[in-house]
Structure 1
Amino acid sequence: MQKSFTTQPELFMAASDLDNQILSSLDSTEALLDWPKIESLLAPIYATNTGRPSYPLLTLFRSLLLGIWYKLSDVQLAQSLYRDLLFRKFCHLELTSSVPEASTLGRFRNQLVKLELWDILLAEVNNQLESKNIIMREGRINIIDATPIEAAQSGSGNGKEGTPKKDPEAGWHVKNDSRGRQKSTYGYSVHTGVDEDGFIHSQSVTPGNVHDSQERDTLILGDEAALYADAAYSSKETRDKLEELGIEDQVRRKGYRNNPLAEEDKRRNAEIAVTRGGGERPFATYKQHYGLARTRFMGLAKNATFYGLAAMAANIKKGAKFLVLYGLPEMRTTG
C-alpha cells in the first residue's frame, strides 16, 4: 500500500516566519514537471494493496533527487529529512510525520534497479521538458562522449561478511593523457549523449574496459541533425552509419602512424572541438557538483540506475533554471 502524496499546507505554516527565499528555492523544480505522470511510472513499486502503507512514491523519488543534488549518502539524506524544512516541503513530509530511514531509501532504489525504471523515467522527464519547449527536438545536435568512474570497491580479498572488496563487474579503463602518459582506472564508464544546451538525452553505463565506440549506437538518437564526437568514435563504420541515417558527420578524425592527419583535417578537428566540448558538461556535473567521481554501489545494474538518477537530477535542475530565466511559452502567453 502507498500513502498519499497530498499534504495539508497549514502544517507548514510554522515555517512562514523563516526566510521565504530559502524555503522557495525548489519551487521552480516543483512547478517544472507534471509529477503525477512520474508517479504513474513508479506505480509498480509496492503495488500490493495489503500490508503497512509505504511512504508516497514521489516522496521517495524526490528524496533520492535531493540526495544527488546535495551530495548526501542515504544516512545523511535521512538525517536531513528530519531537520531540513526545505527538504520536508519538497518531499511533502508534514511537520508531524515520520521520514524515510536510510534503509527505506535504499530499498526503494533497489526497486528501481529491479524494475529497470531509470531509462523510462529519464525519457518521461525529457518528454515533459520537450513539451514545454525547454528541450528543443527540431534541428538538435547530439554530442556523445564517455568518462571513467572509479570503483569505490577496488580492494583485494573479501570483507568481514565474505563479500568481495573488489567490484567484480567493473573493469580497467586505460587511456593516454594529453602528454602520452597511460592512466588506468578500475571502475565503470558512463557514456552520454547531450544536446547543445547540455541536456542528457541518452546514457549507458558499462565496465571500464568497454571501448567508448561500442556504445555509439546506444547513444545515437536517429533524429539528430549532427553527431559530434571525439576521435575514439572515428571509423568508416561510423561514417557509413551516419550517412545511412542522414546525420551530419562531426566526428573528429584521427591519424595513424604511417598516415598522419592532413592539415585540412586538423583544422576541421579544431572547429569541431568548440562544440564537442559541451559533451563534458554532464561529467563535470556528476563529478564536481554531485560528488560522483567514484561509485557508491557494487554491480553494473545498481550503478546504471544511480547514474541514471543523476542524469534526471541534472536535467531537472537545468530545466528549472531555464524556467526561472525564461519562463514557459504558455505562461507568457496567458499572463
Structure 2
Amino acid sequence: MARRSIGQERFGFAGGGRAASSLDTLVSLIDWNPIGELLDPLYPAAKGEPAWPPLAMVKALLLSIWYDLSDVMLAEALDDRASFRRFCGFSANEATPERTAFVRFRRLLVAHKLDRTLFEAITTQLKSKAVTVKTGTLVDATIIASATEGDADARWVKHKGKRAVHGFKAHVGADADTALVEEVSITSANINDGKAGPDALPDNPGEVFADSAYRGNHFRDAVRAKGGIPRIVATGMWGRDEQETLRKLHEWNQPIHRVRGRIEKIFGTWKRCYGLRRMRWRGLAKAAVQVHLTAIAYNLKRTMNILAVLA
C-alpha cells in the first residue's frame, strides 16, 4: 500500500502571523525520524488506497490524548486547527484523516505490537534530556474502568471502602526525581500489585518506593535482582514496647510516603486531563495501546515543563 505525501505546501501557514503553540515546542523535543522508522512495518501491501503516514497518525493520537478527543472530534479538530496540522505535518489546505482512519491505524498498532516499542523509543530520548542522575523509582498501580462490562479481558476488583470496578490495571515505574514514566505493564484489574510489580521496574532502579501492597519477597527479590534497594511501606514491626515500636514504624514509613506520593500526581494527570478514567476500546491489547500512548503523551509534556524550568 502506497503512502500519501503530506506537508508539501508548508508555506501555507506563512504570512498570517501564526499564533505560538506549545505543540510547536513539543514536536521539537525529540528526533522523530527513528520513531518513523519503527513504523515502517505498517501498510506493507502494494495495493489499495494510499495510506496516511504512520508518524502523522501517531502524532494525531497523541493530540487526542492531550485534548481528550474522540475519533470524530479529532478528525474535526485536525481539519480545522492550524497548530494540530503543523504538529502532525499537514500543510494548511490538504486533506486530513477521517474518523475511520484512526480506527484502522489502532488495529495495526495492536497487530504489530508497536505501542510498547514506541513508548520505549520515545521515553529513551526524553530521559536523555531530563534524567541526569538516577536516584530512585516510584512504583504503583492504578485501576482503569473497562469500556464495557462485556469486555472479556477485564476483571472485577473490590477494595475496602470503595465500589467494585470492572477493568484493567496499569502498573507504573517512574523516576523519583523527574516523575517521568519509565516502565508500564497492563493487566486485568484483579492482578495483585506485588505480583505484577516486577514488570514495572526499570533497570538500575536505585531506591524503590512502594506502598504496602508490594511487601513480600517476590517484589523485594525482583528489586534487588535489578540492583535496587526496596523502600516499602511496612504495616507492622516487632517490639516489646508498643509506643516505641509505633514510633519506629512511623519513622520508617513517613519518608516513603512523602516520596511515593509523587506518583499519584501522574495518575491524576492521566485521569483528569488525559481521559484515562475509562478505557475507550475493548480488550487487553487495545487497553495497552491506550495506556502506552497516554504515558508517551504525559512524558512529552512533563519533559517540556522540566526543560522550561531549567532554561
Question: Given the two structures, how large is their TM-score scaled by the length of structure 1?
Answer: 0.85
Residue in 1 that maps onto 2:17: 17
The reply to whether residue 210 of structure 1 matches residue 191 of structure 2 is: yes
* 1:34 aligned partner, one-letter code: D
CA RMSD of aligned residues (A): 2.2
Residue in 1 that maps onto 2:179: 198
Give SS of 2:203's match.
Answer: coil
* 1:77 aligned partner, one-letter code: L
The reply to whether residue 310 of structure 1 matches residue 294 of structure 2 is: yes
Displacement of 1:243: 3.7
Change (3 A) 1:55 1:219: same
**What is the distance in 2 between the residues matched to 1:238 and 1:92?**
44
Give SS of 1:26's match.
Answer: helix
Matches within 5 A, 1:95-134: 95-131=92-128, 133-134=129-130
> Percent of aligned positions with the same letter in both sequences?
31
**What is the distance in 2 between the residues matched to 1:323 and 1:184?**
40
Residue in 1 that maps onto 2:305: 321
**What is the distance in 2 between the residues matched to 1:243 and 1:43?**
38
Change (3 A) 1:123 1:97: same
The reply to whether residue 230 of structure 1 matches residue 211 of structure 2 is: yes
The reply to whether residue 271 of structure 1 matches residue 255 of structure 2 is: yes
Change (3 A) 1:237 1:54: closer
Structure 1 residues 179-205: Cα deviation after superposition (integer angstroms, max 9, x where no partner): xx2431111111111112111101111
Change (3 A) 1:243 1:308: closer
Change (3 A) 1:324 1:3: farther
The reply to whether residue 255 of structure 1 matches residue 236 of structure 2 is: yes
The reply to whether residue 144 of structure 1 matches residue 139 of structure 2 is: yes
Structure 1 residues 110-146: Cα deviation after superposition (integer angstroms, max 9, x where no partner): 1111111111111111211233x3133x433111101
Change (3 A) 1:188 1:33: same
Displacement of 1:216: 1.4
Displacement of 1:55: 1.2
Question: Quick one: which of 78, 86, 91 aligns to 1:89?
Answer: 86
CA contact (8 A) 2:9 2:92 kept: no
**What is the distance in 2 between the residues matched to 1:116 and 1:311?**
16
Residue in 1 that maps onto 2:266: 282
In structure 2, runs of 5+ residues without a counterpart are none
Change (3 A) 1:124 1:5: farther
Give SS of 1:253's match.
Answer: coil
Displacement of 1:57: 1.5
The reply to whether residue 78 of structure 1 matches residue 93 of structure 2 is: no
**What is the distance in 2 between the residues matched to 1:301 and 1:237?**
26
Matches within 5 A, 1:22-33: 24-33=21-30
Structure 1 residues 207-232: Cα deviation after superposition (integer angstroms, max 9, x where no partner): 11111112111011231111110000
Give SS of 1:32's match.
Answer: coil
CA contact (8 A) 2:168 2:189 kept: yes
Displacement of 1:48: 2.9
Displacement of 1:87: 0.8
**What is the distance in 1 between the residues matched to 2:159 and 2:221?**
26
Residue in 2 that maps onto 1:186: 166
Give SS of 2:75's match.
Answer: helix
In the comparison of the two structures, how many residue pairs are matched?
A: 306
* 2:147 aligned partner, one-letter code: A
Change (3 A) 1:55 1:236: closer
CA contact (8 A) 2:110 2:286 kept: yes
**What is the distance in 2 between the residues matched to 1:50 and 1:60?**
20
**What is the distance in 1 between the residues matched to 2:162 and 2:28?**
47
CA contact (8 A) 2:145 2:167 kept: yes
CA contact (8 A) 2:6 2:91 kept: no
* 1:141 aligned partner, one-letter code: G
**What is the distance in 1 between the residues matched to 2:290 and 2:226?**
31
After the TM superposition, which of the residue ranges 57-66 and 260-269 deviates more from structure 2? Answer: 260-269
Question: Given the two structures, how large is their TM-score scaled by the length of structure 2?
Answer: 0.91
CA contact (8 A) 1:172 1:208 kept: yes
CA contact (8 A) 1:173 1:209 kept: yes
Residue in 2 that maps onto 1:135: 131
CA contact (8 A) 1:28 1:323 kept: no
**What is the distance in 1 between the residues matched to 2:248 and 2:8?**
63
* 1:223 aligned partner, one-letter code: N
Residue in 2 that maps onto 1:4: 5
Displacement of 1:314: 0.5
* 1:4 aligned partner, one-letter code: S
